[in-house]
Chains A and B, each alone.
Chain A
Amino acid sequence: MTFATIWFVLWGILWAAYFVLDGFDLGAGILMNFIAKNDLEKRQIINSIGPFWDGNEVWLITAGGATFAAFPTTYAYMFSYLYSALLIILFGLIFRGVSFEFRGKEENPRWKRFFDLSIFFGSLIPAVLFGVAFGNIFKGLPIDVEGYHGSLLQLLNLYGLLTGILFLSLFLYHGGLYLSIKTEGEVQKRANSFSKKFFFPLFVIAFIFLIFTPISTKLMENYLKVKILFFVPLFLVISLILSGYFTFKNKPSRGFLFSFLTILLTVITGIIGLYPNLIPSSLDQNYSLTIFNSSSSEYTLKIMTIVALIFVPIVIIYQIWVYRLLRGKVRIDDILKNENSY
């Protein structure tokens, strides 16, 4: 296996890790405005993701940085071609991030309303647009000898939107389960009932996505070449079903574990289909960005592999440790008692 292939795998894992982790806090951010009926319940939700969202978002920075370091040409074109979409995602993430900190710093209801909306849109927009972006990457971008021929509106094609809706639905469901685990009382009840009600729509959307993928993209080719790979999307479907099963059995922790796996496997299913492309061209194969024509030198990839092999496991270990240390439910009483809560 070449270093470029190793980095292709790592690239996929980093993006998958980002979606799995930020997925639940984006989902919870959208749900906040529907599940919480008053200010305290909103604070309960914010405090349940409060300690973690920032650490989760660094996976995005790392995925972006890894794209830059390992596949600079892909980084350059991915980010400049998707300029407007990324800009909107950025504004969403910026407003959302400060809202957690700012919202509780003033008692004025209009102030809080502003930041509630900013948490809502700041969670909704990245959730959908990341899906749209990846849907279009799976499908291929219109690139030829003259460069890129797409625009923001063209990204909103059927398959792009479908992937956007899929990402949104996965994150909502994932976020709902997270709230079931991390809260209690009314918020938990409503989160429970949301996850149950939402499971079937999610299942249908995932089903449509899996049907459309071989039609709209060329992702199938790798699977047909190496048939054993079909186990990955198969496990995806099994995880989703198991997640639903546990959710209905009122075991949200296990349900969450399997929604975690579902998102992970969804991203990996797509990434496997892409190989060796990072961004396929929908116009002419020769202009696809691949691990062969867009990766860094062997030397750089080697250095980056060493760094990743040492530090990524360390990060995973301390992040798990932090999650464990702060385990347990967020209670409204505790928020009121604790002056440090959001």
Chain B
Amino acid sequence: MDIVGLSRLQFALTSMFHFIFVPLTLGLSGLVAIFETMYVKKNDQKYREMAKFWGKLFLINFALGVVTGITLEFQFGMNWAEYSKYVGDIFGAPLAIEATVAFFLESTFIGLWIFSWDRVSKKTHSFFIWLVALGTNLSALWILLANAFMQKPVGYVLRNGRAEMVDFSALVFSPYGWLKFLHTNISGYIVAAFFVMGVSSYHILRKNYVDFFKTSFKIAAIFGLVSSIVVVLVGDFNGREVAKYQPTKFAAMESIWETQKGVPLNLISIPSPSQEKNSVEFLKIPKVVSFLATNDKDGEIKGLKDFPKEDRPPVLATFLSFRIMVLLGFIFIFLSLVGYYLSLKNRLEQNRLFLKIMLYSIPLPYIAAQLGWIVAEVGRQPWIVYGLMRTKDGVSKNLSTSQVLISLILFTLFYLILGIIDIYLLFKYSKIGPQKYTAMEA
């Protein structure tokens, strides 16, 4: 593999690994903040222990999210120097703002939150975790605005041999960026909701701290239900933006080869990229794709064959990732709806099968989040900035293949070790449960 391929692989590895931990951080910070605020409002120790128990899991997860984030910021310069040079004038700004406005906030106040339980009033203390939640979510906003520039570049002119920023507000208020922000962040809330519901199910099944975990489950179910509905809706808006501004990505997502009007949705289809067609198309719902993409059931959608081959993204990966992600999105709505209903009727304990399903569903939102990034980033290929710069032109010129190969191997090795340790600890501390709470119940 050449330097471009290795650098892409390394970026994929390090960013996808980073994004194992980020979504839970995004959502669980908010849930812990909700638990702690309920403690402040209701003055019930149960909620304090909930904030502490879920907070501990939050911290184990948070540690790896933070440190793997540094890699990403360094990597633009390390591996993608030509890209950084070409778009740094506009792309660097949101990253610097992210650090200054958001990352400081979350990193400073998380330390304070851990160490100040007995130093400040409980109201003040709950305020700290809200600041952390705000910081993590703002942090994601700026990163996603930066990413949105790579998808749909705005606010720049080509001058002095590079893309220079001329309109900061176009960058900051990019509708593409804000939809991406909503879609991505709220998908993190689903990860957290399913994490809390899954771990709670584990304990309810074993009749550990049942009251504690039923309350956790119920709050997470509401959180998950609202989030999964919003994610699907926002995803739909997102798709329209893609159809408008990234036609090659959209055609790959839906595996549309021929330009046509009134494009139907094939519930089952199997793309065959070598033949430039779908080998199977089954269960056709007329005009749905056109309607979703253009708001007009007879709207025209450009097929892949109308683009030169060197401008098309890998179809199979984009298509499959998109399909599975969407399917999972609907499953999330269904599961959280059932979960909320059973919580409300206080019938969780009797439905052991459902609890088991929820336990084993913990990985599903993680998978959906990863697939979403595959759609976004693989679907963007062959561009590093859509329509503006090709990925192969963005790579650093001074690196040797062996240098990148070695770093890739080391990243793989070290991340594997750390990932295993982190997941081991998450399992361990999830299973232990809120020990102090037992004492209180007794």
| Residue ranges of A at the interface with B (Cβ–Cβ < 8 Å) | 50-55, 57-58, 60-62, 64-66, 68-70, 72-73, 75-81, 83-84, 86-87, 90-91, 93-95, 97-98, 100-102, 105-106, 147-148, 296-297, 299-300, 303-304, 307-308, 311-312, 315, 318-319, 322, 325-326, 338-341
Contact = CB atoms under 8 A, between A and B. Distances in A.
B435 to A, nearest CB: 9
Given A86-B74, A325-B116, A98 B63 contact: yes
Q: Secondary structure of the B side of the interface?
A: helix
A55 B99 contact: no
A308 B120 contact: no
Contact of A101 (B52, B63, B69): B63
A326 B112 contact: yes
Interface string B85-118: 1011111110111111101100111111011111
Contacts of A75: 76-77, 84, 88, 92
Contacts of B118: 338
A159 to B, nearest CB: 22
Contacts, number: 224
A296 B164 CA distance: 8
Given A58-B107, A75-B88, A326-B119, A87 B78 contact: yes
B421 interface: yes
B347 interface: no
Interface in B135-184: 159-160, 162, 164-166, 168
25 contacts: A57-B70, A58-B108, A62-B103, A62-B104, A68-B88, A72-B92, A75-B92, A76-B82, A76-B85, A79-B77, A80-B81, A83-B398, A83-B399, A86-B78, A87-B410, A94-B70, A106-B428, A296-B92, A299-B164, A300-B164, A304-B93, A307-B100, A325-B120, A326-B119, A340-B115
A50 B122 CA distance: 21
A98 B422 contact: yes
A102 B421 contact: yes
Contacts of A50: 111, 114-115
B68 interface: yes
B35 to A, nearest CB: 15
Contacts of A79: 74, 76-78, 81, 84
Contacts of B64: 98
Interface of B: 52, 59-60, 62-64, 66-71, 73-74, 76-79, 81-82, 84-85, 87-93, 95-101, 103-104, 107-112, 114-120, 159-160, 162, 164-166, 168, 396-399, 403, 407, 410, 414, 418, 421-422, 425, 428-429, 436
A339 B60 contact: no
Contacts of A312: 100
A54 B93 contact: no
B308 to A, nearest CB: 29
A296 B89 contact: yes
A95 B63 contact: no
Nearest to A302: B168
Nearest to A152: B403
Given A51-B112, A62-B100, A325-B120, A57 B92 contact: no
Contacts of B159: 297
Nearest to B160: A297
B114 A52 contact: no
B59 A101 contact: yes
B88 A72 contact: yes
Interface centre among B84, B87, B168 (most CB of A within 10 A): B84
A11 to B, nearest CB: 11
B436 A296 contact: no
A51 B111 contact: yes
A313 to B, nearest CB: 11
A297 B89 contact: yes
B71 A90 contact: yes
Nearest to B397: A147
Given A76-B82, A79-B74, A299 B166 contact: yes
Contacts of A93: 67, 70
A87 B66 CA distance: 16
A54 B107 contact: yes
Nearest to A91: B414
Contacts of B79: 80
B420 to A, nearest CB: 12
Interface centre among A52, A64, A339 (most CB of B within 10 A): A64
Given A61-B99, A79-B76, 14 more contacts: A51-B115, A55-B108, A57-B70, A58-B99, A60-B70, A65-B92, A87-B410, A90-B71, A102-B425, A296-B92, A299-B168, A300-B93, A304-B96, A307-B96
Interface centre among B62, B93, B117 (most CB of A within 10 A): B93
Nearest to B95: A65
Given A80-B81, A94-B70, A101-B59, A55 B104 contact: yes
A226 B359 CA distance: 69
A172 B107 CA distance: 24
Contacts of B164: 296-297, 299-300
Contacts of A100: 63
Given A94-B67, A297-B164, A303-B168, A84 B112 contact: no
A105 B108 CA distance: 22
Interface centre among A87, A95, A339 (most CB of B within 10 A): A87
Nearest to A47: B115
Contacts of A80: 77-79, 81, 396-399
A304 B100 CA distance: 11
Contacts of B109: 322
Contacts of B418: 94-95, 98
A140 to B, nearest CB: 16
B324 to A, nearest CB: 31
Contacts of A78: 77
A147 B82 CA distance: 12
Contact of B92 (A55, A60, A68, A84): A68
Contacts of B52: 340
A102 B66 CA distance: 14
A81 B115 CA distance: 40
Contacts of B422: 98, 102
Contacts of B117: 338, 340
Interface centre among A100, A105, A312 (most CB of B within 10 A): A105
A87 B413 CA distance: 14
B112 A97 contact: no
Interface centre among B111, B118, B399 (most CB of A within 10 A): B111
